[in-house]
Chains A and B, each alone.
Chain A
């Protein structure tokens, strides 16, 4: 029976949310195609991850285990996945459009002679030929393309939220231990050290207050902080985010960036301050329940997607707003 293979990614020792979504995507496709879903857990010690991945109704989970697979090193991971794909010849290979997927999938696709579509928001089989129909936003989100590729395997990386996360089931997947044929000579890029930086998880916020290029000085972010402080008592977890120019100026680290190449989030409230509303920014926050825009330009695109707008200089408005919120509380 033909096989759909997907790559498991891990968070705190368990499959992460993107992987659970990918599993559901794989299971849906398998139903349509009469195929089986397999997942692969790669690493130097995969038993716990595989046990946990085995609870989600897939046919099997491969433990692709090797000492060299400790941590994520692209060269060796690509080599290991190539080894597995040559062994099992999957019809479809899926990964998350994550840090790991973005780097691994294109290189793997070349080695497997397959055409890959990245960052898909939907996948379905073409009933005529069983090939994958790939739905992918292009031009930053200004258009949505529907693509097909010939040849096997069919390969795609999938954007967060494309599918509902899979639910646990009673039955267990078969777990198969595989030892890929790997050696040090495959590692052409050597990791010297990693620099841990404190990372914010923007998707944990109830409210995000984001500043853009309209914020004149780095110090002005303290105004956004003051607003966050005033809202925290009543609105839960309030975090500060930004658009890309703020990261480019090194005023904030890139984990604060919202958008196509940053985080894609859906908080209860998003307050955009001095952000024009470029499509690459909008795709990261358009699913927010309520959007408030503060901008001096009444014609800017951010107002077109906002629920509430104030045409005003943030330097004047925000201090007055903070004062009022504090009076009200």
Chain B
């Protein structure tokens, strides 16, 4: 079978699963402040897992592409420790806080610069802005087939077969390669990576190329920044919880049963 060159787009974001009590909104700076370490956006981890499984079958190379400022080494080297072959960072002040279309445009320029790819995997949506646009638009820009919400991905010859989630169950679809597939959590979690392995990689660093505006985009003024007019805290979700107490489990159960009866 032909060796695959797979590009995985992975965004680094503040942990979207941090408890809501650790998240606040700075209205003045229009910023969400998350008191938790950064992570790779969860669906992008699923995408990496899917890529590694394909590589295990077909052989080949996985390149992780990540655009963003101050990307943390530890977080991104996890991708290499898990099974990616190389990592390319897209870093430039001009790449920050972009509209989805512009973000996809930057990624497309990097993908073209890498060249010769067979498959691009993205997450179904980034866990910070929950937009779900960049993958689909990237496929449009590159003019390649686009399959969304993959549960499982198989390569057969020059084609990709995907089982995708649809509201009534699943749909089996296929297209020619190269193609772009957006990945959903049903694919499975990224395999466990021992921390020592990540830390070991930090000691013997693989070179990580950094590409900026001048490497990728001719001229300025093509990229649109998000126009955030205002950022607000969410509506208050708190209720006054009445705790059901009791000296035994049965007593608590009896009290809860009485409450349920009254509802």
Contacts and interface: CB of A to CB of B under 8 A. Distances in A.
Interface of A: 74-75, 99, 102-103, 106-107, 109-111, 115-116, 118-119, 133, 137-150, 188-197, 199, 231, 234-235, 244, 247-248, 254-255, 260-261, 268-269, 276-280, 282, 286, 290-293, 298, 301, 303-312, 316-317, 320-321, 323-325, 328
Specify which of B129, B163, B257 lies most central, judged by the most chain A CB atoms within 10 Å of its CB: B257
Interface string B119-163: 000001101111111001101110011111100000000000101
A318 B133 CA distance: 43
B131 A248 contact: no
B101 A110 contact: yes
Contacts of B234: 137, 141-144, 279
A146 B243 contact: no
A103 B171 CA distance: 14
A139 B34 contact: yes
B143 to A, nearest CB: 9
16 contacts: A115-B101, A138-B130, A139-B16, A189-B147, A190-B173, A192-B173, A231-B260, A248-B189, A254-B165, A303-B241, A307-B239, A307-B240, A309-B241, A312-B249, A321-B253, A324-B253
A118 B241 CA distance: 34
B70 interface: no
Given A110-B140, A305-B237, A148 B185 contact: no
A145 B231 CA distance: 5
A194 B20 CA distance: 38
Interface string B178-191: 01000001101100
B19 interface: yes
A106 B127 CA distance: 17
B17 interface: yes
Nearest to B160: A189
B35 to A, nearest CB: 12
Interface in B85-140: 99-101, 104, 124-125, 127-133, 136-137, 139-140
Given A145-B231, A290-B263, A321-B257, A309 B133 contact: no
| Nearest 10 Cβ contacts at the A-B interface | A197-B169, A320-B253, A188-B145, A324-B257, A146-B230, A106-B133, A106-B136, A142-B23, A110-B140, A321-B253
Given A248-B185, A268-B263, A309-B244, A146 B253 contact: no
Interface string B238-263: 11111110000110111011111101
B222 interface: no
B1 interface: no
Contacts of A143: 23, 25, 32, 231-234
Contacts of B194: none
Contacts of B148: 74, 102-103
B99 A149 contact: yes
Given A103-B136, A139-B34, A306-B239, A321 B256 contact: yes
A301 B238 CA distance: 9
Contacts of B258: 328
B261 A328 contact: yes
A195 B136 contact: no
